[in-house]
Chains A and B, each alone.
Chain A
Amino acid sequence: MAGAVSALFLLDIKGRVLVWRDYRGDVSAVQAERFFTKLIEKEGDPQSQDPVVYDNGVTYMFIQHSNVYLMVAARQNCNAASLLFFLHRVVDVFKHYFEELEEESLRDNFVVVYELLDEMMDFGYPQYTEAKILSEFIKTDAYRMEVSQRPPMAVTNAVSWRSEGIRYKKNEVFLDVVESVNILVNSNGQIIRSDVVGALKMRTYLSGMPECKLGLNDRVLLEAQGRTTKGKAIDLDDIKFHQCVRLARFENDRTISFIPPDGSFDLMTYRLSTQVKPLIWVEAQVERHSRSRVEIMVKARSQFKERR
């Protein structure tokens, strides 16, 4: 089942290769480009729109970001989920470096792009995608290059997302909860499905290697501690944690403990499939009065309670 990709391509909107990194020497750029340009041309054929396509012994997986395609080519049975996710991570890293990932920024920074591709993937295996740490030893400005004489400890540490020796005069943590509501309404105005996707967004400015713990009014935790759960306790079931959270510990005693990365990140995301009323209800009515007169009535009604 082991599987690695043969090459990674960055292509322009027409499918021409901008930059590519050959990892195994068994898929050529010409071959990939020829296939991919053809693929983009026959838009509309549903089969060709799958993000995983097979052609002549090679599997191509790709994603699009602004006017750039990121694509990997593989000859083995590699882990598709991992590699597609990796491509999204590559986008994040490039965005961290160049602010915007697009054709122009890739051309303007092709030297760094090559360096990053070399560091993020080796022999077709994803290696390291922490933008913040990468930028400690791969820099765009050449003269600063001389400073870093060794890879940051974080690259191979168990805590791969945070460098040592961070100092702040003032130690601060900010925590935001951002929730979005997804509602599926059918044409009769009936709510078929509704869920809330939330994220605990953290911004940390802490010194050293701080051990953090976060307590929530988690029903399971409160019950385990023998405390009353009536009122405000919530059910945490479908949660995803940032890689800094010790998952095994959470599984054991429901403690969310972690050493946070420096700066902002999503500590956890969750999904609640509770019934939610749409926050704003919009109704539209179209009436044709005569050949030259149409009346469109749009009614918007807020349905959430005022907070005091």
Chain B
Amino acid sequence: MSGHDSKYFSTTKKGEIPELKEELNSQYKDKRKDAVKKVIAAMTVGKDVSSLFTDVVNCMQTENLELKKLVYLYLINYAKSQPDLAILAVNTFVKDSQDPNPLIRALAVRTMGCIRVDKITEYLCDPLQRCLKDDDPYVRKTAAICVAKLYDINAELVEDRGFLESLKDLISDNNPMVVANAVAALAEIQENSNRPVFEITSHTLSKLLTALNECTEWGQVFILDALSKYKAADAREAENIVERVTPRLQHANCAVVLSAVKMILQQMELITSTDVVRNLCKKMAPPLVTLLSAEPEIQYVALRNINLIVQRRPTILAHEIKVFFCKYNDPIYVKMEKLEIMIKLASDRNIDQVLLEFKEYATEVDVDFVRKAVRAIGRCAIKLERAAERCISVLLELIKIKVNYVVQEAIIVIKDIFRRYPNTYESIIATLCESLDTLDEPEAKASMIWIIGEYAERIDNADELLESFLESFPEEPSQVQLQLLTATVKLFLKKPTEGPQQMIQVVLNNATVETDNPDLRDRAYIYWRLLSTDPEAAKDVVLAEKPVITDDSNQLDPTLLDELLANIATLSSVYHKPPDTFVTRVKTTVQKTEDDDYPDGSESAESSAHVGDGITSPPASSSSVPAAARQADPAPAPAPVPDLLGDLIGLDNNAIVPVDQPSEPTGPPLPVLLPASTGQGLQISAQLIRRDGQIFYSLLLENNSPVALDGFMIQFNKNSFGLAAAGPLQVPQLQPGTSAGTLLPMVLFQNLSAGPPNSLLQVAVKNNQQPVWYFNDKISLLPFFTEDGKMERTSFLETWRSLPDSNEVSKDFPGAVVSNVETTLDRMAASNLFFIAKRKHANQDVFYFSAKIPRGVPFLIELTLVVGVPGVKCAIKTPGPEMAPVFFEALETILKS
């Protein structure tokens, strides 16, 4: 059944549009149809054919279904750009939705839902209402999805017109396909709603479990995904559910299998009987294994999920490690994931076999895979004490192959093994030293030098070995220079003979005089002073015993793991990240009130609950605003006018939010950003603040104008931090002479501007009575510092060392003075700048702090000052040095407050 449509792509360039226009208006049916095909072909290759809108729409009224579909397709693409003309199509749509042919009825409703034009949406309601009750299940199943479409465009309309109720009725539909689509639509609406829309009761549960047996494979996935949120009342109910879901494990569609696994794992948490749990584990193993014979892309998803599953239930696949052995023709992304799981499943029982595999992989051709394999051996050594020796002997064998990158990788992991098992395997150092000359990667070099320095007393020619590196000292990367410096000092302390003494002179000279790397210079000076004042103390410091390391790499935090397991099969489980870190859809509603405790553990519900608490807890008054009151608001907020505001300020119109409810502001007075004189009587003060781990924009609006103001909306221009409103601005109608404050929850990384970071935040606020007001705010970094910014001393040191010196920025605050260390520390801590350590340097005090901003960017901070004397010097090191100016601004506000 092959077509010849490609001819439609080849039209004469010149005069194309007029020509098409003529053909579209031809009196011959066939010619018109051909013309529409040409238009669609042009649209497909990306040409703009929107100017033919009227002519194409004129072809809409046809008996020919194929032609109708093409015109509909055209409408979906161009209606948005021609909203006024799109109204021309409405009549035909409405007529088609009553056509005797169910295919056409469904097509009309399906297409209307895809046209995101407000005017059309109004006309969609009646046909949709009819189609939801259509006799034909094909029309009903299409209408069910259409409700979700409408909700996406205009949620209010869906609620007002009672579509949610009709949709809920469809859950009891006698057709399983309709049920499945209704479930999908309800689940999506629930995700974006602040009210309990889709509650799964035990009654719906049993209905859905029955439908599960009869609907299509895709429908089964919708139902299983929706049901996995259901929390069983007790172990018995959980067992019953599991029993009804287990047969799905035998389905040929792997998505059905994975969703069934998710649901079983969720219910297993409640099941207390160890026999039942063991039995379930046994039942889940074979289907999981079979997923690995699916297409490679699906294997990848399966492996990412198995990685999570084995962290929670290691027994399921404990005996199946062999199925994760890589095949020669596996794509690289599958191999990498398999390796990760092999490390997780490696045990004393199977380590020999696993090592044989790793060794094999280490001789393959793909460099990244080989490196990962070598590292895997090291991680097994660190994980399994009894197998460590075998792992090391494999590593030594690999070193003997003398493949450059294998050797270097091996040396890096052996350094870690030494840290894990001190004083056990040092006999192999001699072998390592043989490959000294071949090292050319900084990390490998640094590791080798660390080993030499650490074990200088056992290496006879340690001085010669280190000396060979010294010649090229100035050219080495800073990572290697730092290690060389430390290693030489260790050598000197261990063997204070003439050779090392000369070496240390050279190194210290190099590291203090010749270098412009402050990190290296500082360290060199510290050593120098230590050595010259008190060699014994130097020994205590430099040769101090190091803590033993453990293998906790790639282990997820239990609460994160819980969340990810609830999201099995989804993108979240592939990324190993909670959904809210990558889902970019702007949620229109965030606030959540007390009576919303629907049985739904979804992440979105949790995060919005958090926001809600943050808003309502400090002043008790606003927390009692029930959802019902808000709905009964006699003057509902007008529909947002994204184009107006968006066009004016030139920003994306994705974050426009309407206004409805007030809540009290707290804290010190906010800076006035829009004085009443500029704002025709409206005064706005605002500031970014942090509360309960969330960023809010605290606003106070005062109405000094003679008229009541309402319909407040807010919009943020693109900014360096991508700050945007996470929910609607909650401000009621403002009578003259009154004021209202609110906390607007904010999200980050939504509308990022390009260019180097700056602190400018442009805000636009509008209401129904006045023109749009624009004002600028300064973004302070303070509210961005997260609660988890505290670092351990060791990791602080490591991070400090690992960052190149180009990442260090310093600044003087001549005016700042610290008179009381305690209060300053408290103030810093209150802003999530965590105190790490303090030392004295001459008459100055040096303080170290750590802080972190979202996306895990750490700041390491060094403050040098004399108590009571003006002048504070601050140096920071961070992976994001471009943030430094903004950081210093933030710090200054703390120091001067």
Contact = CB atoms under 8 A, between A and B. Distances in A.
Asked whether A and B interact, the reply is: yes
Interface of A: 1-4, 17-20, 22-26, 29, 46, 49-52, 54, 57-59, 61-63, 74-82, 84-88, 97-99, 104-105, 107-112, 114-115, 118, 122-123, 125-129, 135, 137, 139-142, 145-146, 148-151, 155-158, 160, 184, 186-187, 192-193, 197, 237-243, 246-248, 250-251, 266, 269, 271
B893 interface: no
B341 to A, nearest CB: 15
Nearest to A87: B297
Contact of A81 (B137, B252, B302, B333): B302
B66 A145 contact: yes
A173 to B, nearest CB: 19
B2 A99 contact: yes
B61 interface: no
A160 B252 contact: no
Given A85-B255, A149-B103, A193-B325, A122 B110 contact: yes
B687 to A, nearest CB: 28
A112 B178 CA distance: 25
Contacts of A240: 250-252, 257, 287, 290
Interface string B505-547: 0000000000000000000000000000000000000000000
Contacts of A126: 218, 221
B253 A77 contact: no
A46 B333 contact: yes
A109 B6 CA distance: 7
Interface string B191-225: 10000000000000000000001111110011001
Given A85-B298, A156-B137, A269-B252, A51 B333 contact: yes
Given A80-B574, A266-B252, A75 B583 contact: yes
Contacts of A62: 297
Interface of B: 1-6, 8-9, 33, 37, 40-41, 44, 46, 63-66, 69-70, 73, 76-77, 80, 101-103, 106, 110, 113-114, 116, 136-138, 141-142, 145-146, 148-149, 152, 175-178, 181, 184, 187-188, 190-191, 213-218, 221-222, 225-226, 228-229, 244, 246-248, 250-255, 257-259, 286-287, 289-290, 293-298, 300-302, 305, 322-323, 325, 327, 331-333, 336, 353, 356-357, 360, 366, 368-369, 566-567, 569-575, 579, 582-585, 602
B-side interface mostly: helix
A197 B294 CA distance: 11
9 contacts: A1-B228, A52-B300, A52-B301, A52-B575, A75-B584, A77-B567, A77-B572, A140-B2, A251-B247
Given A157-B177, A238-B290, 5 more contacts: A49-B333, A63-B295, A135-B1, A240-B257, A243-B253
A110 B2 CA distance: 11
A202 to B, nearest CB: 13
Contacts of B302: 81
B37 A111 contact: yes
A85 B218 CA distance: 10
A104 B247 CA distance: 42
Contact of B138 (A57, A108, A155, A251): A155
A180 B25 CA distance: 60
Contact of B582 (A59, A110, A118, A155): A59
Contacts of A158: 176, 214-215
Contacts of B181: 122, 125, 127
Contacts of A2: 184, 187-188, 190-191, 225-226
Contacts of A271: 286, 289-290, 293
B2 A57 contact: no
B142 to A, nearest CB: 7
Nearest to B568: A81
B65 A241 contact: no
A268 to B, nearest CB: 8
B229 A77 contact: no
A108 B246 contact: no
A106 to B, nearest CB: 9
Given A25-B116, A52-B574, A104 B6 contact: yes
B298 A84 contact: yes
A8 B6 CA distance: 20
Contacts of B327: 184
Contacts of A25: 80, 114, 116
A145 B101 CA distance: 13
Contacts of B246: 251
Nearest to A158: B214
A237 B286 contact: yes
B170 to A, nearest CB: 13
Contacts of A197: 293
B582 A57 contact: yes
A108 B184 contact: no
Contacts of A123: 113-114, 145-146, 148-149
Contact of B296 (A46, A51, A108, A187): A51
Contacts of B257: 240
B573 to A, nearest CB: 8
Contacts of A192: 322, 325, 353, 356-357
A20 B63 CA distance: 26
Contacts of A54: 575, 582
Contacts of B9: 107
Contacts of B214: 158
A145 B569 contact: no
Max chain B C-beta neighbours (<10 A), residue from A115, A137, A192, A240:
A240
Max chain B C-beta neighbours (<10 A), residue from A80, A81, A107, A108:
A81
Contact of B3 (A82, A108, A184): A108
Given A80-B574, A140-B2, A111 B300 contact: no
Contact of A4 (B188, B293, B325): B188
A177 B566 CA distance: 38
B40 A115 contact: no
Max chain B C-beta neighbours (<10 A), residue from A2, A4, A23, A141:
A2
B297 A51 contact: yes
Contacts of A238: 286-287, 289-290
A131 B331 CA distance: 29
Nearest to A248: B247
A76 B301 contact: no
Contacts of B566: 1
B295 A88 contact: yes
A29 B46 contact: yes
A186 to B, nearest CB: 6
A19 B73 CA distance: 12
Nearest to A187: B360
Contact of B251 (A20, A23, A187, A243): A243
B580 to A, nearest CB: 9
A158 B177 CA distance: 8
B356 A186 contact: yes
Nearest to A188: B356
Given A49-B331, A156-B178, A186 B360 contact: yes
B310 to A, nearest CB: 17
Contacts of A23: 114
Contacts of A77: 567, 570-572, 579, 582-583
A26 B216 CA distance: 28
A123 B46 CA distance: 22
B252 A107 contact: no
B101 A1 contact: no
Contacts of B250: 239-241, 247, 250-251
A218 to B, nearest CB: 13
Given A85-B298, A248-B213, A151 B106 contact: yes
A193 B327 CA distance: 11
A62 B2 CA distance: 25
A271 B285 CA distance: 12
B66 A115 contact: yes
A158 B173 CA distance: 13
Given A57-B584, A109-B5, A187-B360, A241 B40 contact: no
A126 to B, nearest CB: 4
